[in-house]
């Protein structure tokens, strides 16, 4: 049962997404803060489930699939809610989603050929920047003299740049393997 704790945390992260949708659907300053708090809990849950999976020697195939899916769904749902609130230009989610589809497809093709493409540090930094940027856009309004809107937008744009940089690195790692196997 103890070895299931990381997967339980991962599923719990997914279960918080409808609450974020509800909070952001009914846009108030308070709801933005509550949604940001849930985003922090989801982000910390991601760190904790990964740490526990390694510490408890409880890394499972289910966790390897569901954990990154939870990250991507969190970003997708959050950016869709920001579009709903007109706080985000549509190009940002398009760039985020298209990058994810490319990398997921690349990894699937590589895996079918027995090649494992490890997650990069840039990908982890990208996810952190996305979470902070989304949190800023959930809050949106000025507080303590700072503009959450501008900070959030800046961080999301930075995350898009970093995400495409990491995608290019994934492609350059896989391309030599693909050329070798496709010429046979």
Low-confidence ranges of the chain (pLDDT < 50): 184
Sign of CA dihedral 55, 60, 63, 64: positive
Question: What is the structure's pLDDT at 45?
Answer: 92
Question: What is the structure's pLDDT at 129?
Answer: 92
Question: What is the structure's pLDDT at 174?
Answer: 79
Give φ, ψ of 87 to 5 degrees.
-105, 0
Alpha helices in 85-142 (DSSP H): 91-112, 121-139
Question: What is the structure's pLDDT at 123?
Answer: 75
State the Cα–Cα distance between residues 54 and 60, nearest whole angstrom: 10
State the Cα–Cα distance between residues 150 and 148, nearest whole angstrom: 6
Q: Which helix (H) or strand (E) holds 142?
A: strand 142-143
CATH number for 2-178 (one of 1.20.120.1760, 3.30.300.10, 2.70.98.10, 3.30.470.20): it is 1.20.120.1760
Give me the residue label for tokens 């950016």: 79
């Amino acid at each position: 049962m103890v070895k299931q704790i990381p997967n339980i945390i991962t599923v719990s992260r997914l279960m918080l997404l409808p609450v974020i949708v509800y909070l952001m659907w009914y846009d108030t300053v308070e709801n933005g803060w509550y949604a940001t708090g849930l985003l922090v809990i989801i982000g910390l849950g991601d760190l904790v489930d990964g740490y526990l999976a390694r510490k408890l020697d409880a890394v499972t195939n289910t966790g390897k699939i569901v954990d990154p899916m939870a990250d991507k769904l969190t970003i997708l749902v959050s950016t869709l809610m920001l579009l709903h609130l007109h706080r985000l230009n549509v190009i940002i989610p398009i760039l985020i989603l298209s990058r994810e589809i490319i990398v997921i497809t690349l990894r699937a093709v590589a895996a079918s050929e027995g090649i494992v493409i490890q997650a990069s540090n840039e990908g982890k930094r990208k996810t952190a920047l996305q979470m902070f940027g989304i949190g800023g856009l959930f809050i949106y309004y000025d507080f303590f003299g700072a503009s959450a809107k501008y900070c959030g937008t800046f961080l999301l744009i930075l995350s898009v740049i970093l995400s495409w940089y990491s995608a290019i690195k994934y492609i350059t790692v896989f391309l030599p393997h693909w050329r070798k196997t496709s010429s046979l």
